[in-house]
Structure 1
Amino acid sequence: MTKHAEQVLKNNKQQKENPNRQGKTLMIQGTTSDAGKTTLVAGLCRLFADLQIKVAPFKPQNMALNSAVTPCGGEIGRAQALQAKAARLPLNVDFNPILLKPNSDTGAQVIVHGKALTHKVSSNMEAAEYQKYKKQAMQAVLESHQRLTKMYDLIVVEGAGSPAEVNLREGDIANMGFAEAVDCPVLIIADIDKGGVFAQLVGTLMLLSQSEQDRVAGFIINRFRGDISLLEPGLKWLEEKTNKPVLGVLPYLHGLDISSEDALVTQQDNSGSSQIKVRVVVLVYPHMSNHTDFDALRHHDGIDCQFLFAKGSVSEDSSTEKSPDKVVIPACDLIILPGSKNVRSDLHFLRQRGWDTDIAKHLRYQGKVIGICGGYQMLGELIGDPQGLEGAPGESLGLGYFPMNTVLEAEKTLINVVGSLQLNQQSADISGYEIHAGQSTLITFDEERGKDVEFLPLLNIKGEKHGLVTSDGQIAGCYLHGLFDQPKALQLFMDWVGFNVVEAPSIEVLEEQAIERVNKACQQHLDMTKIQKIVDDWYQ
C-alpha cells in the first residue's frame, strides 16, 4: 500500500468517527460532450471505493434515452447505474435526480427523483417550458445531494455537456450552477483525440465567470496516444497560461466499451473474425431508446450486429416530406425492432422508409423478428395515445403480427425482472428491467373467424406468461430490456434463429472488466495525491 493510500484510509477512519460528518463533493466537468466525464467518474468511484472510502456518483441533470430501474422502482440514467456499480452500490434515484428523456426535437419527458411528473405539472415539456421549471428542478437536485452527503464520505459529480455553453448559463443546474450552489471544487477533462485540446481548455476557462474560474482546481487530458514527452511543453504552457495544474494525462484505452450516456455505440470487434455466423440488423429510428440492449450482440464473435440508419425527418403528413431516403433492410437472419420514446412517431418513420415492406419480405424468406418494448408494441394491432403523452393524441395501426392492442398511460411500469426465457421448447434463466408507459392487452378471440387466437408466451415471470411468440415461431417480442445480456439466454435466441454459437462472457463481466481498466488508468496516470489534497483543502 502506498503512503498516499495509507493516509487516505487514516483520514477516512477519522471522518467516520465523527457523527456530524458531512460528505465532501468533487465535480468533473468537460470541455465538450463525450470528453470522458462518465468514464472518469466511474474510474474515480472504483478507485476511492477500493480505498474504503464511502463514495457515491451523482449527476444533477442527465439527458438520455438509456435508463435503468432502481430497486424502489425509480428511473435513472444508465451511466449513473454504471458508476454506482463502480462504487459497489445499489442503484438510488438520488444518484440522478433529474432525467430528461427526449421525445421530439424540442421536448422531453421530465423524470424527477425517478418518476415522471404527473398531475399538477406535465411530464412532457418543451425546451422553453423546462427552462422556466429549472428553479424547481434545482431544488430537487439539492435535496438529493444533501441526502447523499449525509450517507457518503465523498460525492463524485458528473457535469453535462460543457460549462461554457453560454446560451444555457441562466438557471444552470447541470454544471457551474450546481457547483456554485453546493460550493465544490471542479476538475475539467478534455479529449485530446478530437484535436485542439489546449484551445478547448483555455477557451472553456475564459468563458466562465471569475468565481467559476476560481473553483476550477485543475485539468485532466483524456485519450492521449503517442509519446508523452512531445506533449509536455504544451502542458507546461497550459499551466503557466491558466495558473491551473494538469492533474494527469489518461491514455487512449483501445477497445474500451463502457456505457455512454446516449451515444449509440455501433462498433464491434469481430469484423475480421472467421467465427461470424449470425447476421443481425437493428433498426434505428429517431427516438430509439435503451440501445444498450444490443451490447451483448456487438461483443459476440459469432454475431455480425449491424445498425441500420435512415436519413430524413419524421413527418406525419407524407406530402410535406421531401423523398425520405429508402434504405433497404439487407438480407439477414434476424431483424430487431428496439425500444422507442415516441412509438407512434417512430412507427410512422419506419413505414415512410418502407421497412414494413422489408420486414414482410424478410418473413416470407423465413427470417426471424424480435420486438423489444416499443418495438414489441409496433408488432401489435393498434397503439393508442389518448392523452398525448408522446405527441399528438391519437391512434396508429400497428404492423399486425401480434394479437395485441396497446394504450399509453401516464403511470409508467418500472420494474426489475427475473424469470425464464422459453423458446424452441427450451428454457434459460433471464433477468432485466421494464420501462414503459404502454399497457398491452391480448386479443384472445378472433371474431371474424369465430375462434380463439393462438399464441405462445416468450417469458415466464413468477409463474405468469409474458411476451409473445407467433404460432409459426418466426416473430417474438416482449417488454423486457436486457434480453441478450445473459449468455445462456443469448445462446437460446441464436438457436431459435438457427445457429449454434459459443457462450460468451456476460455483459456484467464485460462491464466489470471495463471499470477495472479505467480504475487502473486513473491510478497510474492521475496525480491522486494532488486530487485528494484539492478536495481536503477545499473543505478545511
Structure 2
Amino acid sequence: MKGIMIQGTASDVGKSLIVTTLCRILSNEGVRVTPFKSQNMSNNSYVTSDGNEIGRAQGIQAEAARIEPSVWMNPILLKPRSAQDAEIVYLGKAIETLSGSGYRDHFYEKGLAVIKESLQQLATEYDVVVIEGAGSPVEINLKDRELVNMKVAELADIPVVLVADIDRGGVFASIVGTLDLLEPNERERVVGVIINKFRGDLSLFEDGIQWLEEKTGVPVLGVLPFVENHMIDGEDSLSIRTQFSYPKKGTLDIAVIHLPFISNYSDLEPFLYEEDVTIRWVKNSSEFGQPDAIILPGTKSTISDMQNLRDKQLDILIKKHVANGGFIVGICGGYQILGEELIDKEGRDTNIPNYKVKGLGMIPATTTFYQDKETNQVNAQYHKATGLPAFQGLEGYEIHLGKTTVSKGGIPFLTFANGEDDGYFGNDGHIIGTYLHHLFHNDEWRNHWLNMIRKKKGLPVQEIKSISEYKDKRFNILANEMKSHIKWDLMKKLIHQWGSK
C-alpha cells in the first residue's frame, strides 16, 4: 500500500483537518483512499453502520474520502473516564478500563498486533492510506512503547510529513527540536514539513522557509492559511476551543453546559451553520446569563458530572430557566441527568456498585447503569403522542451505558425503527431528553426546534438549511484551498515513489 503519515509537533496543530482534506483531494482525483489512526484518545466518537465505535475524526475523514467508515480505520479508541483511567474500545467494542500505566504494561503487544492487522486489511481494499499521528512523535517518556507515530509509519512503511502550528508561536523551535529528537532512522522517514494556521503576508515568511530548509534539509511542502470556522468535526477537548471560538453574535442564545467529561460534542456543530444562533459554553454559574435554550450534552461519566453541576450550583440556574418557560434538551448523558435518579447498579459509572444520586428531576425517569454499552446506528420517527409534524425520519446513533425508564404517563420523544420508544417530550417540547446522538444534524428537526424558540421571541421563522450538502461543499472548498498552498505534485510523488528507489 502507498501512503503518507501526518505527524505533528504537538496536539491540535491541525493534523485531523489536513488528513481530512488530503482524503478529499485524493478522492477527487479518483484514488481509492482511506484514513487511518492507530490509536485515538477522545470522547467524541462515531458509530459505524454495523454498530461499532471509532474516533469521530476518522468517521469524518472517511466521509471526505467518500467511503464507508470501519473499525479498521481506528482499531483502538481510548475514552477517558477520569484523570487516570480510560475505557479501551478495541475494534469498535469496549473491552476494559485501564490506567495509563496499566495500558502501557498490559496492552502494548495486543495493540501492536491489531494495528498490523488493520493495516493489512486496509491494504486489500484501498490504494492509498493517509495516516494521522497523535500528539508529538518525540515524547521521550513514551517512545519506547508508542503505538501512534513513528512505530506506525514503520509498520506501514510510508513517509512522514511533519505539521507545525505557527499561530501558537515558536514554529522554528518546534520543527527543529522535533527533528533533532528523532532517531536517525525516524528522521530519514520525514520527507517534508507543512506549516499550518498562517496569518498575514506570506512573502514576509519566505526567508523563514529558506532558513528551515537549509537548517534541516527537509523541504517545506506548503504553508497553509489559518482557516476561520472550518466546521470540520474535531475529536478532542482542544478542538472544542478551536471550533466554537469563532466570533458570532446571533439573536438566539444557546447555552451548552460544558460538563467535565463531555462526549460527542459534534452533536452541536450544526448550530455553527445557523447564522442567527450563538453557541456559548457554560462551565460556571457566573457564565450562565439568560439563554433562550440550554443543551446538556453527552458525558463519559454521568454521575460525576451531575455532582459537578450541583457543586457549581448550575443545577439551580437550570431549574429556574425551565421553570420560567425556557427550552432544554438533554442528549444521552444529559438526558440521564434530567431524570430523577441515577443508579449505578454494577459500578460501571462510578466503580461503586449500587451507588445512587439524585438527578435534576425535570423528567419523571430513573436511569440504571449496567455493564454493557449500547452502540447502534438508529432510524426514528417522532412518537405519535408528541403531536409533532410528520417530517421525514430522523437518523443518528446511540452510544451509552444505562437504561432510562420514564414513568407511566410520560410522553416519549421518539420511536426507533425497532419499535422501541426513546426519550421524553414535555411542556410542549420545552423539555426534551433523548439517547439519539446527532439529533440536531437532522435538518428538519433542528429547523423546527429553532423556529419554536424564534416564535417565542417574536422573531420570524427561517427556512431549512441542508447541513449535509453544505458540509460536502465545504470538503471541496477546503481541498481546493489546501491544494493551492502545497506542492501537490511533489507530495503525490512522495506518496507513490517512497521505497521504490
TM class by smaller structure: over 0.9
2:377 is aligned with 1:416: yes
Give the unaligned 5+ runs of structure 1: 1-22, 118-122, 311-325, 445-453
Distance 1:355 1:256 in 2: 31
> What TM-score results when the alignment is normalised by the length of structure 1?
0.86
Q: Is the 8 A contact 2:40 2:74 kept in 1?
A: yes
Distance 1:345 1:464 in 2: 28
2:465 is aligned with 1:505: yes
Deviations 1:249-291 (CA, angstroms, capped at 9, x unpaired): 11222332211121213235532xxxx3322111111001111
2:360 is matched with which residue?
399
CA drift at 1:305: 2.1
Matches within 5 A, 1:105-504: 105-117=83-95, 123-132=96-105, 133-262=107-236, 263-264=239-240, 265-268=243-246, 270-271=248-249, 276-310=250-284, 326-327=285-286, 329-393=288-352, 394-421=355-382, 423=386, 425-429=388-392, 430-444=394-408, 454-462=409-417, 463-470=419-426, 473-497=429-453, 499=455, 500-504=460-464
> Are the structure 2 counterparts of residues 231 and 328 from structure 1 closer, same or farther at C-alpha, using a change threshold of 3 Å?
closer
Deviations 1:447-506 (CA, angstroms, capped at 9, x unpaired): xxxxxxx21121132254321113565311010011111221112212444535313533
2:23 is aligned with 1:45: yes
Distance 2:444 2:226 in 1: 33
Task: Give the AA of the match of 2:397.
Answer: Y
Task: Give the AA of the match of 1:46.
Answer: R
> Are the structure 2 counterparts of residues 491 and 505 from structure 1 closer, same or farther at C-alpha, using a change threshold of 3 Å?
closer
Identical aligned residues as a percent? 39
Aligned length in residues = 485
2:476 is matched with which residue?
516
CA drift at 1:196: 1.8
Distance 1:242 1:516 in 2: 33
2:2 is matched with which residue?
24
Q: Is the 8 A contact 1:39 1:518 kept in 2?
A: no
Distance 2:204 2:287 in 1: 48
Secondary structure class of the residue paired with 1:156: strand
Secondary structure class of the residue paired with 2:343: strand
> What TM-score results when the alignment is normalised by the length of structure 2?
0.93
Distance 1:226 1:329 in 2: 36
1:72 is matched with which residue?
50
Task: Give the AA of the match of 2:499.
Answer: Y
Q: Is the 8 A contact 1:98 1:113 kept in 2?
A: yes
> Are the structure 2 counterparts of residues 504 and 160 from structure 1 closer, same or farther at C-alpha, using a change threshold of 3 Å?
farther
> Are the structure 2 counterparts of residues 490 and 247 from structure 1 closer, same or farther at C-alpha, using a change threshold of 3 Å?
same
Distance 1:108 1:503 in 2: 42
Distance 2:273 2:140 in 1: 39
Task: Give the AA of the match of 1:510.
Answer: Y
Deviates more, 1:428-437 or 1:401-410: 401-410
Task: Give the AA of the match of 1:215.
Answer: R
Larger radius of gyration: 1
CA RMSD of aligned residues (A): 1.8
CA drift at 1:147: 0.4
Q: Is the 8 A contact 1:135 1:171 kept in 2?
A: no
Q: Is the 8 A contact 1:42 1:82 kept in 2?
A: yes
Distance 1:110 1:419 in 2: 29
CA drift at 1:113: 0.6
Task: Give the AA of the match of 2:104.
Answer: Q
Secondary structure class of the residue paired with 2:286: coil
Distance 1:335 1:227 in 2: 41
Secondary structure class of the residue paired with 2:267: helix
CA drift at 1:99: 0.6
> Are the structure 2 counterparts of residues 379 and 538 from structure 1 closer, same or farther at C-alpha, using a change threshold of 3 Å?
same
Task: Give the AA of the match of 1:104.
Answer: S
Secondary structure class of the residue paired with 1:327: helix
CA drift at 1:127: 0.8
Give the unaligned 5+ runs of structure 2: none
Secondary structure class of the residue paired with 1:46: helix
Deviates more, 1:293-302 or 1:141-150: 293-302
